[in-house]
Amino acid sequence: MDDCPRCGSALERLELGEVETIACGRCGFADVPVDHESDRPRLESWRDALERFYER
């Protein structure tokens, strides 16, 4: 498992439906492999994805 590039703690593996990604539960860093259409920062895309997931 990789370490967070921001704070150096261990990244956690998360699943959002069919999407899988890694994220840091400590500083909020997330590696989001989707949302190519968005110009927003990755963290914002990740939050949007989380919100959509939990709204279901």
Q: Is 7 in the site for Zn ion (CB under 5 A)?
A: yes
Question: What character string, x for contact with Zn ion (CB under 5 A) and - otherwise, covers 10-39?
Answer: --------------x-xx-x----------
Smallest distance from Zn ion to CB 6, Å: 4
Q: Using the rule CB under 5 A, is 42 a contact of Zn ion?
A: no
The rounded distance, in Å, linking the Cα atoms of 56 and 2 is 30
Identify whether the C-beta of residue 14 lies closer than 8 Å to the C-beta of residue 32.
no
What's the burial of 46, exposed, middle or buried (CB within 10 Å: 0-12/13-18/19+)? buried
Enumerate binding residues for Zn ion (CB under 5 A): 4, 6-7, 24, 26-27, 29
